[in-house]
Structure 1
Amino acid sequence: MKKILFLLAITVSVAACKNETAKTSNDPQYEGEFIYVADGAVLKGDTFIYGITLDEMATELQEKVAPIKKDDYDMVPVIVKGTLANKTEGTEGWDEVLTITEIVSVSDTPSEADIKLVDKKEADSSN
């Protein structure tokens, strides 16, 4: 009897694992630096800057990026899939808006800053 229950438990476990399929989208993939601030989010690539639709996926990406950032304005390299659309007429923001459908990867480190601003008081005290 114990053998039958054991085999049944293994069969159920294997069947449950097979039913779990990875959620993937067929949407185009975008690679860039992601930043999320209180009133918006942006994905900046080498040749584009897209506003991000503030929805559950943007919040999920922000939660994944937050522990990696050293300060509020750090940008973190990410790869996402999504749909691109023009902004709606009469609204503020970037001309093109990306709605994220899948988070492919998030870097372990923030991007290097193009320009680093240093407080004059801090610079004077370190010299």
Structure 2
Amino acid sequence: MKNMLSLLVLFLVLVGCEDEDRRDLVSEPEAEEVADTVPTLVGEYIYVADAGVLRGKDFVYGVKIDSMAQVLAEEVQPYKDQEFDMVKVKVKVKIEQNRRREGWKEVIEIREIIDVLEDKKTPEDQNIEE
């Protein structure tokens, strides 16, 4: 009987005590806003013969040629009048040191194409300019 009474008291003491740490763990945490760590650049893009360049107001980067650089080259093609025209774009990039000894100190790897910022020319506009 004493054992039963001791267990009952022990149980009531354990259940009756509020554990603030446990309550904090059980409650849902507030959502944290995480800043985007991938830089977004706006500049003029050109891709010619396996070389790409992104030029902005205060930067010029060589572009690492990969599938994303080629996709961007295809997307800007309708906006170009001549082969060497540069088209304004907005992209998310990874900036890294150029491992080659030639060209720019830093090159970019295009991670995401956000937008092509030039007005798209209609076929009628292209016929007028020719």
- Please classify the TM superposition score into its range, dividing by the shorter chain length: 0.5 to 0.7
Higher relative contact order (CA 8 A, sep 6+): 1
Task: Say if 2:50 and 2:65, in contact at 8 Å, map to a contact too.
Answer: no
Larger Rg: 2
Number of corresponding residues: 85
Give the alignment's TM-score, normalised by structure 2. 0.61
Per residue, is there more helix in 1 or in 2? Answer: 2
Give the alignment's TM-score, normalised by structure 1. 0.63
The residue that corresponds to 1:36 in the other structure is: 47
- What is the rounded CA distance, in whole Å, between the counterparts of 2:80 and 2:89 in structure 1? 13
The residue that corresponds to 1:95 in the other structure is: 105
- What is the rounded CA distance, in whole Å, between the counterparts of 1:39 and 1:103 in structure 2? 19
CA deviation string 1:17-76 (max 9, x = no partner): xxxxxxxx8511001000011031000000000000000000000000011100011000
The residue that corresponds to 1:48 in the other structure is: 59
After TM superposition, the runs of 4+ consecutive aligned structure 1 residues lying more than 6 A away are none
Can you give the 5+ residue segments of structure 2 that lack an aligned partner in the other structure? 1-35, 121-130
Can you give the 5+ residue segments of structure 1 that lack an aligned partner in the other structure? 1-24, 111-127
Question: Where do residues 1-127 of structure 1 align in structure 2 (5 Å cutoff)?
Answer: 26-88=37-99, 90-109=100-119
Backbone CA RMSD of aligned residues: 1.7
